[in-house]
Structure 1
Amino acid sequence: MAIRCCSCRSTLLLLLLVSAVPISIIVSLESTTWTSSPNRHHLRYRSLGLVRECAKWDASGGRFLVSNFFGGGLAEVSDVDVGAPAERTLMREPDVAGNVSLGLVVDGGRGRVLVVFSDLFRHRYAAVGAYRLDNFERIFLTRLSGPEDETSFADDVAVDSDGNAYVTDAKRNKIWKVGSGGALSSVIRSPLLERRKEWYHLVGLNGIVYHPNGYLLVVHTDGGDLFRVDTSTEEVTQVDVEGSILGGDGLELLSPTKIVVAAFRPSARLVESSDDWRTATVTGTYSGPLHRVAAAATAKDGKVYVSHLFGGRSHVISEAVFSPLSSAK
């Protein structure tokens, strides 16, 4: 899950453009979106931050966990508070001060959450941290790259059945593998992962999820590609996708045969496979508030929720109901 640009100038330009949209237009867009879907659950919550990169449902705590971007840590949003709940900061990682918190994954079976940290502007620092879900004490903080290494942009994270973490690099199109105890064990590279459009190459490898059959599914934002990475052999193959996932950001595995791809427009796509993700088809789309920019997806009680990058004092996690595509098989 990445902010839409990995370069300083592109990021600042995007923020400037969003902030320049007249308030009256934003209010109109918001009203149209919510009134057109009155039976869906749209969770508005109060926040002091402009950007919120990722939200994931923590079933054990009955809350959404949110990476608070410039806050360099995590916050929680309750789904049971009356009215508009307020975001509550859970932790700020002091050893990554000046960097942003991005993708996260809830590893409920081990009672922990993993969070990615990156240097937004210079791309000279990347790390992944693991924290206890009950008190958010640090379990480990692993540096993935530093000033002496090639520039990089750690983005999203997934965890396999053995507790290994996999972190995407949206700038260099590689995947770091970190053991369950926090040791950096390998870096997965492949010519396939380098794919990018000649005319557009801002964001590479982005959202990532682990499939229980022993592989990762990873989206390449610029190329609109989906890759299957075997966690045992580190072999990379491309999934033949019918339909577009160009601009794909965060991923969520709904079942062994279904994933959700969050994106700029439409806000999310439902993708299905019947052959263990050798091929796949986009079968549905969801269009949320365009001006907020969808960045991540999560599942709660059998429903899909999409979180958005931009908000200011009010952010939204919206229920996604997919419209089927007539061309889907």
Structure 2
Amino acid sequence: MKNTILITAFSILFMACDTEKKSGTTPASLQSNYTITDIGLYPEGIDYDSKNEKFVFSSMYKGAVYVMSTKGVTAVFATSPKLVLPTGVYTDEARNRLIVANADLGISQKSTSNSAGTIATVSIFNLSSGALIKEIELKNFTPSAGSCPNDIAVDNTGNIYITDSFSPNIYKIDGNYTASLFATSNLFQPAANQFGLNGIVFHPDGYLLAVKTDDSKLFKILLSNPAVITEVKGIAFSAPDGIELDKNNNLVVVENGLGLGKTYTFSSKDNWASASKISETAIGKDEFPTTAALASDGNVYVIHSKLGELLAGDKTQSSYTIQKID
């Protein structure tokens, strides 16, 4: 990937990722807000592990995955030599695995002078211990083009789906950890030097929903026929990042700091041919919200990444928030 593309893309958007799982049967007692105190953390992806009752989030700068307990205690949970710039994280409780998308945009402390654009992988960790299970290579699908694995969805049978923000692709990783190109389309093609596909969720009715950042669109992709891709009508937002299904299967869209820094919740009465807004929550541009997670208490929580500061070259931010949205 050309460095000029990477540098330009930084000024346009940052990532997303995350989940679409329903809450556990024994909800934990969660606070409305949590503060993460760690210099240079810059968290991006977030999910909630309802099996072990903890938040899981990625650090784009430190190249590791962290956990926070319901009491607010934070610790490093998972890492590997290949994990340079983790983006989306997904806690697959049914299979006791943590799935992490990984790239290199040249801004991680693990990046080197020539490493930007050379990494596109998915790491699988044990959800209970953080032990590395498998790392899957995706860069072979874009040998002469840019690649940035971003967000993650998992269907009912355990297949994994990964968006690529720099190429018009959604990848599939099956139960044997074999990767394939699930869907590719001109509809997913990012504009020159911009981010394309971002957040993705699996809907229990048998399709994927994914946002595209550069033109602020939401797409529906059939699992049974991935060539059938339709744009969801009736929605409005800018710079969409992560998306999440709430406990009622409404869709929460996180608009990052390149937009207004809000979350929007949409509902659909026609199987996501169209949708309408039912609520919104102001987070703030400077907070730069990125992704959201459905917790075991039935509420959705969004993470404040402060990524605007990192993209501007500041590595000294030390306070970040996980906030329950209305």
SS of the aligned residue for 1:175 comes to strand
Cα displacement string for residues 43-97 of structure 1 (whole angstroms, at most 9, x for unaligned residues):
112123241111111111111001122322211011224xxx4x3101211134x
Counting matched residue pairs gives 284
- Residue of structure 2 in register with 1:290 after alignment: 285
Q: Offset at 1:256?
A: 5.9
Taking only the aligned residue pairs, the percentage that are identical comes to 26
1:155 matched to which residue of 2? 150
- SS in structure 2 of the partner of residue 241 of structure 1: coil
Higher relative contact order (CA 8 A, sep 6+): 2
Q: Mean Cα displacement is larger for which, 219-228 or 239-248? A: 239-248
**Residue 60 (structure 1) aligned to one of 35, 42, 51:** 51
Q: Does 1:145 align with 2:146?
A: no
Structure 2 CA distance for partners of 1:13 and 1:111, relative to 1, 3 Å: closer
Contact 1:6 1:171 (8 Å CA) reproduced: no
Q: 1:126-145 to 2 correspondence within 5 Å?
A: 126-145=120-139
Give runs of aligned pairs for residues 94-109 of structure 1, distance below 5 A: 94-96=81-83, 99-109=84-94
Superposition TM-score, scaled by structure 2 size: 0.80
Residues 41, 59 of structure 2: 8 Å contact kept: no
Alignment of 1:1-329 (within 5 A): 7-9=6-8, 11=10, 41-81=32-72, 85=73, 87-96=74-83, 99-121=84-106, 122-145=116-139, 148-194=143-189, 196=191, 202-255=194-247, 257-264=249-256, 265-300=260-295, 301-310=297-306, 312-321=317-326
1:8 deviation in Å?
A: 2.4
Shift of 1:250: 0.3
1:104-163 deviation per Cα after TM superposition (whole angstroms, max 9, x unaligned) = 111111111100000113322201111111111222110100594422111111111111
Q: Is the 8 A contact 1:250 1:297 kept in 2?
A: yes
- Deviation digits for residues 251-284 of structure 1, max 9, x if unmatched? 1111464110011224211011111111111222
Gaps of 5+ in 2: 15-30, 107-115, 308-316
2:261–2:288: 8 Å Cα contact kept in structure 1?
A: no
Tell me, in whole angstroms, the C-alpha distance in 2 between the residues paired with 1:59 and 1:8. Answer: 37
Cα pair distance change 1:271/1:253, threshold 3 Å: same
Larger radius of gyration: 1
CA separation in 2, counterparts of 1:115 and 1:238?
Answer: 27
Structure showing the higher helix proportion among its residues: 1
Task: Kindly state the Cα deviation for residue 12 of structure 1 after the two structures are TM-superposed.
Answer: 7.3
SS at match of 2:157: coil
CA contact (8 A) 1:201 1:222 kept: no
SS at 2:105's partner residue?
A: coil
2:82 aligns to what SS in structure 1? Answer: helix
RMSD between aligned residues: 2.4
Q: Give the partner amino acid of 2:319.
A: S
